[in-house]
Each structure stands twice: as structure tokens, then as C-alpha cells.
Chains A and B, each alone.
Chain A
Amino acid sequence: MIARAGNWAMRAAPWLAAIAVNWIAPDYMSLAASVLTMGLFALSLDLALGHAGIVTLGHGAFYGVGAYAAGIFAIHVWADPLAGLAAATLVAGLVGAVTGALILDTSGLTLMMLTLAIASMIAEFANSARDLTGGDDGLTGIRPSPVLGLFRFDLWGHTAYLYTLAVVFVWTMIAWRILGSPFGHSLDGVRQNAARMRAIGAPVRMRLIAAYALSAAMAGTAGALGAQATKTVSLASLGVLTSGTVLMVAVLGGMRRRWGAYLGALVYVVGQNFAAEIDPFRWMLVIGLMMIAVVMFFENGLAGLVDLLDRRARPSTGGGK
């Protein structure tokens, strides 16, 4: 019972801390919101790449599609942020389902190249559809109405932060639930050995398409949150750099680890923010060294490092789970 309560406390503590940030660090609301958004984005990649083993270099496409969908929806249809969020999630999920159906019977390098190619095509489409997206000037003029008609997006970003936190919380709970379900376990099976999963009757391709669409939808939500927070969308949000960054964040934090995506986002986004003020070049050096250290020594990323320190601190619990 005590262990169980402790477990719950462990799970609730980070969320309570995140709520507390609203009062502890009122000067850093937009930075804190970026951490959450990036964390959600990295979690979406962890679902597709970490769990289902879909090697993708084009996940930025779904983030960007979500961002543009939310922006365009807010400008042309309805400024309600939650409706925009739902629309962006749906559109990104659909794009994920359709592109997934096209490419997910391949694997490895071929699949990686195809994800990259599709992301490039989507970026080029956004570039040429100037009337809709603003092309390389970016999409501006997004003015989300108050959340639920009640909470105005204030100048200091408190509403935006708490709104982001709420959305991220809901998606994370859904993601964790999915990962603990038979479906989630079957994705881990597909990653390890697709032939084995077919041998027990699993429709592997459909399973992967579902995971990919789900992951794309989640990335789309992250993109929408980004668009609503910054009130602009640029072509860069769809770009290769976005795909690369989220991959770094996910690996840095630790793939397939409960808090990995958020740990990675916290270190990356906060580090980048402060280091950029001092010396942006050295920051990339620091991130590069950290990546090397993680990839070479800490297979499970920062989340694995935390486990290691935890075990050091309490050697009596043995090496259990």
C-alpha cells in the first residue's frame, strides 16, 4: 500500500511542480510553455519511433501541419483555441494515416528516406500555397479567443501556460494508457520482430499505420499549441531542422521512458534559451557533447541517468524494477 501511494506521489509530483511553475517563475511563462510543447512533440516521436520502431526523419511535418491547421482555422473559421486544437489534431492525424498507409510497408533506410521525402513535399506545398500559409513570410494574424470563452490569453502568458499544461497532461495520460494497453504492447512487439507478430496473427501494417496516425495527431497538437502560443507559424516549423531537433530531444531524454520526452525537452529548451543569450555557438557544442555522452554511455538517456542516481542513493532496494 505504501509503495503504491509512493508510486502515485512519484507520478503526480512532476505535474504538481509544473503547476507550481505558474507562480514560481512568472517571468518564464512562454519558455515553460515551450518546454511542455516540445515535450509533447518528443513524446509523439517516442510513440512512433521508440515504441513502434518507425524510423522517421520527417516528424516535423506533422508538427508543422498541426501548426498551420490551427493558424488557418483560427483566422478563417473560428478563433476558439480548443476547436483549433481539435481541428489541428484531426488534420495532422489524417495526414499521418494517409502518408503512413503509403510508406509503412517499407522499413529501415527506405522508410527513413520516404519520411524525409514526404516532409519535404509537405514543406514545399506550404511554401507554394502562399494565399493560405503566407509562404516564406510565415502565417501571422492568429488571435485565439479566450479559452472556453472565459480565460483571455494574457500578456504574461499565464493562461497560455496553464492551457498548454492542461492539454499536455491530457495527451500524456492518453499516451501512457495506450502504451500500457494490449495495443501498446503489440507495438513493442512489432518493433522487436515484425515476423513474430505476423506469426501470432497480428496485422502488422495496420497496427503501424494506427500508431503513426496517433503519433502524427499528437505532434499536430503540439504544433497547434506552438502556433497559438506564438501567434505565428513559419515554414521552419515544417522543416528538417524541426524533425532533427525533436529526435535529439527524444534521444537525450530517453526513448521508451515514462518521463524521457519531458526531461529531454526541459534540458534542451531551457539550456538553449539561456545559452543562446550568452553564446549560441557554444550551446550547440554543449548539446552535441551531451548527445555523444548519452548515445555512448546512457542508452536510456537522461531518464536512465536519473534511475542510475536513484539506485545509487538507495542501494538496499537491489536492482529490481
Chain B
Amino acid sequence: MRSDRLSLIIAITVCTVVLAGAFLGGFVPVLADLKAVFTRWAAILAGVALLVAVLNLIKTHIQRIMKSEKGTVQSTILVFSFTFVVTVGLLGWFSPTTAQQATDAVTNPFITAQKAFTGTFQYLQLQIEAWLSALLAIFLLSAGLRWLRKNPSLASFLFILASIVFLLGLVQLNLPDLPAALMPLVTLPTVLRQWLMDVPVLAAVRGIWLGLALASLTLGVRVLLGVDRPYGGD
């Protein structure tokens, strides 16, 4: 039997069992058990695949350092950071698990390693990602303005208008001395922003979700029927 035919049979069988397990697991417990087993296998294989992908990434950067290509400094930082995080992560794995052991071993190098491991994510990775995400707001607004300049259409005008309303709507003004007659003017952007979120934006998002759900379902069924074969075979 050709290997692509075998892949197809395995894929269709596993898909059918997992799908049947999701709907009929309450009636046929063996289907629910099989679904759990296959899902666990998938998780393990995904972990191994991640390891392979990371090793390939490190290999690429080591090659770049060896050949002194452009970006050697970044590659060196990446390889060094990877080695550091993996080392402290592995050392931290051996740290004491019970509270008593942890109290007894304040100077335990394994506990220090574990703290360094979590600290790397908490104080470096997460902070840098948060900083980059905050910067994105500026890029988005400037991209919107460029879009309006390049392509002055109704859509681009509405995008900029909505962005301004959204930003103004987020501003919380505290003006106790303002006459009551002018108060609706101050709260208008907030009310408008809420209405935009609750009515047109929600309607559009639901429309996109509906389309995406149907498209995803079609793709899933195509894989189930063997029309799409991302696992190989023609």
C-alpha cells in the first residue's frame, strides 16, 4: 500500500473517531476514551514538533554566526538567551517542591534558577511584548492616515472618523463646574463609542464570525473527506 494512501486512511479514521467521540461519547464511552487518547497523542507530538522547530531555529542562527553573516550580533544574543533560559529552566525543574524544603533551602541554587526562569518571562519577555503592542497603536493610526492620503475613499474616511471617536470616547473628563446644559457634549463621544461598539461593530464582527465559521467547517469536512491533505499525498 502506498504511504499516501495509508496516511489518508489513518487521517480519515482518526478524524471520524474524534468527531464521533465529541458527539456520541455520552452513548459510546469507548469513543470518548479514544478521543481523549488521540488528543493526548496530538499534544505530545505538537510538543516534539515545537522542540524540532526550535532546534532548527538555533541551528540557523549558529550557522549565521559561523559564516559571520549580517545580523550576527542578534543571532549571538538569541543563542545566548536560549542557552541561558534552557539552563535555568532545567535547573529550576530540580528545585524543592514542598514548602518545608523551600524554607530549608533559601540559598538553594535550584530555587534561584527557577526564580531567574520565571523572572525572564515576567520582567523581560512580557514587558517587551507589552511595549511593542503599545507601539502598534501609533503605527495603526499612522497607517490609517496614510491609507486616507493614498486612497481617499468613504471607507478610509470612516476608519479615521471612528478612530477619533474611539480615542475621544476613552477620555474620562471630570468637570464638576461645567453647566448641566453642556454635559451631553462632554459625554457624547463616550455614548457614541458605546453605540458603535454595540451596534455596527458587533453586527459586522458577527457577520465575519459567521463567514469564518462556515469556511472553517468546510475546510474541516474537506480534510475529513480526504480532499485536503496537509499531511501529504496527492
Does A associate with B in a complex? no
Residues of B with Cβ closer than 8 Å to A?
none
